[in-house]
């Protein structure tokens, strides 16, 4: 019996328990995936071990704690510095990041992409940046404030705040900010976003479950659009494959997890 959970704060909104339990039930695996409200991220490892979990997902705001507390880090998580998946192997906690690959797989509906503009410079922007540059896509970062730009500049990525930004052409424009999540804000001034969209092909919002002002404007301006639902499902599928030691193929797990969003 696999014993799994997701840790975060807040956590009541998370779709991960539904996604994983749906896959367990329909793929006939004995397992249970619960949710755990964790206020103090430094207690993550202690609670993981006390709960005798075989694996876990870690969400906002504890992904950096997860990175620091894992016994070993594998894959792209090493570059990102954030972990969203723990797997217990031979009494060691192995940390992975499935957000980055989950995002990248979800781009397959778009055409070829040479360059991307990422609005935002938080944790999600970091994960997306690493997977894009790993796949030879040029990245530019545009953020509201200057404080978070140094991380990207150290990676030799063009990173500016709104007042210094000069618009140029981008195949893909990504909203990785939380603007539009609980409000109806654009991630930058509407006039600036319109200029950006005028020279772009695809618009992607990591927010899911609603049409944000960002996506609405992109659609009105004729861009091909996508929200963050597929990214969420893909990171879940990749985590599930790690939890179950890849007993199943990606598409059969995804088919089950997608059912959560179709009811
Ligand atoms: P962080 O808190 O790390 O970063 C937030 C970023 O958004 C910062 O760059 C911040 O700018 C910017 N921002 C916040 N509010 C505004 C605003 N009103 N206008 C302009 N910029 C704003 O958040 P995360 O990176 O962890 O999460 C970002 C989004 O990604 C959330 O909406 C989250 O729900 C979503 N997400 C989706 C996932 C999926 O699977 N689909 C997975 C993970 C996250 P500043 O530096 O100026 O404060």
pLDDT, tens digit only, all 263 positions of the chain: 999 999 999 999 999 999 999 999 999 999 999 999 999 999 999 999 999 999 999 999 999 999 999 999 999 999 999 999 999 999 999 999 999 999 999 999 999 999 999 999 998 999 999 999 999 999 999 999 999 999 999 999 999 999 899 999 999 999 999 999 989 999 999 999 999 999 999 999 999 989 999 999 999 999 999 999 999 999 999 999 999 987 899 999 999 999 999 87
**Ligand 1 atom closest to Cα of residue 59:** 43
Q: Has 63 been annotated as catalytic?
A: yes
Single pTM value for the model: 0.95
Contact in structure between 117 and 196 (CB atoms under 8 Å): yes
Residues with Cβ within 6 A of ligand 1?
Answer: 60, 99, 120-125, 143-145, 148, 176-179, 181, 185, 187, 206-208, 228, 231-232, 235
End-to-end CA distance of the chain: 27
* Atom of ligand 1 minimally distant from the CA of 228: 41
What span, in angstroms and rounded, lies between the C-alpha atoms of 164 and 174? Answer: 19
Probe residue for ligand 1, chosen from 13, 124, 188 as the CB with the greatest number of ligand atoms within 8 Å: 124
Q: Which long-range contacts (CB under 8 A, 24 or more apart) does 151-160 make?
A: 151/121, 151/126, 152/121, 152/125, 155/129, 157/129, 157/133, 159/121
Strands 92-96 and 85-89: antiparallel
Of 45, 46, 63, 92, catalytic: 63
Spatial separation of the C-alpha atoms in residues 216 and 75, rounded to whole Å: 35
């Amino acid at each position: 019996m696999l014993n799994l959970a997701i840790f975060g704060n807040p956590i009541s909104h998370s779709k991960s328990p539904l996604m994983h339990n749906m896959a367990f039930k329909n793929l006939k695996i004995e397992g249970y995936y619960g949710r755990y409200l964790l206020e103090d991220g430094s207690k993550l490892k202690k609670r993981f071990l006390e709960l005798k979990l075989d694996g876990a997902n870690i969400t906002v705001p504890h992904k950096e704690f997860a990175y620091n507390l894992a016994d070993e880090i594998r894959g792209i998580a090493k570059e990102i510095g954030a972990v969203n998946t723990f797997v217990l192997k031979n009494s060691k906690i192995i940390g992975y990041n499935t957000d980055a690959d989950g995002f990248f797989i979800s781009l397959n509906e778009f055409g070829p992409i040479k360059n991307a503009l990422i609005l935002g410079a938080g944790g999600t922007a970091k994960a997306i940046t690493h997977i894009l540059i790993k796949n030879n896509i040029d990245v530019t970062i545009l953020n509201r404030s200057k404080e978070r730009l140094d991380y990207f500049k150290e990676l030799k990525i063009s990173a500016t705040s709104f007042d210094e930004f000069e618009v140029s052409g981008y195949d893909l424009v990504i909203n990785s900010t939380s603007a539009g999540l609980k409000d109806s804000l654009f991630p930058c001034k509407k006039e600036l976003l319109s200029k950006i969209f005028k020279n772009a092909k695809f618009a992607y919002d990591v927010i899911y479950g609603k049409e944000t002002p960002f996506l609405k404007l992109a659609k009105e301006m004729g861009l091909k659009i996508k929200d963050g639902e597929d990214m969420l499902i893909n990171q879940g599928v990749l985590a599930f494959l790690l939890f179950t030691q890849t007993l199943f193929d990606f598409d059969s797990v995804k088919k089950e997890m997608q059912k959560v969003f179709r009811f």
